[in-house]
Structure 1
Amino acid sequence: MNRLSILVVEDDIDTQNKFIELSNNYDDIQLVGITGSAPDAFEMIIRLQPDVVILDLELQKGEGTGIDILKNLVTAKYKPFIVVTTYNSSQCIYHMIHELGTDFIFSKYQKNYSEAEVIRFILSLKNEIIQSIKRKNIDCKYATDEEITLKNGIIKNMIIHELDLISMKHFLRGYKYLIEAIQLHISGETVGITSVIASNHSKKVGSIERAMQSAIDSTWNNGNIDDLLTHYKGRVNSKRCTPTISEFVYYYSTKIKHAL
């Protein structure tokens, strides 16, 4: 990759023009878009897959806020390197936006802040940014087929290990569907998972759902209670006394993503 592609999310016209001017002065960066709207910015991130997003947190004159974008990116398949610029100095806010995926924060109140300093910082970390994007995106434009296959294999083995800990039987019909559901959730699919699985196996959605819930129920009804209490810390449906499919999948997806 010769140049870093950059999307600027900023609602101040003068600041936009400064970033445009700066981008024309460097061969190592390419400005692929600029917007002051949070909804437009999210759409552009997904469509253009920029390497870096320079994100004004407040967007006081635009539509939405930078925080709206960060929240939407949590479940997005593509995750860029995010540099936030802000007038906010709250450590609580800083902690929150780091948790939402921000890589670096520039306070606009700091003594040496300027748009040029932001660009110089990005260029100084060019190689590190490329590696960061690779780590964040197992299926992004930089990942090789071998890397994707390896990562997916690791994730599948982690899921199998977790299900072994609660003694879920491999012969249960819903066992393989649950593994697939957790993998899909980890990859960013949060809606229509059972429909995807049903399509993959030429089955009806109801059949897939019944098989998965049956595998969960069988494990809770016939398994070792100590193993379940020790290794499953997720929600359990109070009426059924077993997890629902969504509760089960969400718990293991979250647990494994944190372990990666």
Structure 2
Amino acid sequence: MLRVMIVDDEKYIRDELKYFLKKYDDIEIVGETGDGEEVMKLIKKLSPDLVFLDIQLQHMNGLLLARKILDQENSPFVILATAYNEYAIQGFEINVSDYILKPFSEERLKSAIDRVKKQMNKEYKYAQKDEEVEINKLCVFQRDRFILMDIEEIQYIESRHQDIVVHARGGEYSCNFSLKELEERFKKKRFIRTHKSYIVNIDYINEIIPWFNYTYKIKIKGKEEVEIPVSRNYLKKFKKILGI
């Protein structure tokens, strides 16, 4: 039985989705909400296998909420619901299972559900790992434009007031990944985590300045006003990689 939770701030949309889902004998609708603020609490309480999530919730960014859901241990699968298919690439960047467009197509909904069922099969998951493709770009956005940026352009990445800011030679950009996800994504690239709030491209390090308690500060090429800390939690790995 596939346990499903529906998140959409329009009741008629939730009702429409429930109408379609009740046609499946192996689907149980365990909960629904129109309030983005209570989603995480309900997921913890209801333990759904799958969440249908509206991207454009009132007072909340659905993509950021999806990332928060998927960051959990043993997270449910997520299918995004949206009226705009340009959000699809952002959804797949954060590993949602699929997306469906409003108004819903019963055929497309079946395709998305079948995809989740396959992903729940352990053998399928293992097969997918072997098919992963190494990507040397990062999807960022600036002034409502999505940009596929070469990662060599990135100087450093900062967590600032719960937002992820990508600093590159062309300016500052936003990103829907968490620092933890970016650290994993770039682990075989020339990037290094220096602090709970910073990841740095080694190629842009200009100076390493000794600081108090045997830690360091980093100066970035072309950004002399910036000083990035190297905290004690990341110091050992930092020194080993750079031969300090």
Larger radius of gyration: 1
Tell me: higher relative CO, structure 1 or 2? Use CA pairs within 8 A at least 6 residues apart.
Answer: 1
Query: What's the TM-score once normalised by structure 1's chain length?
Result: 0.47
Answer 1 or 2: which has greater strand percent.
Answer: 2
Answer 1 or 2: which has greater helix percent.
Answer: 1
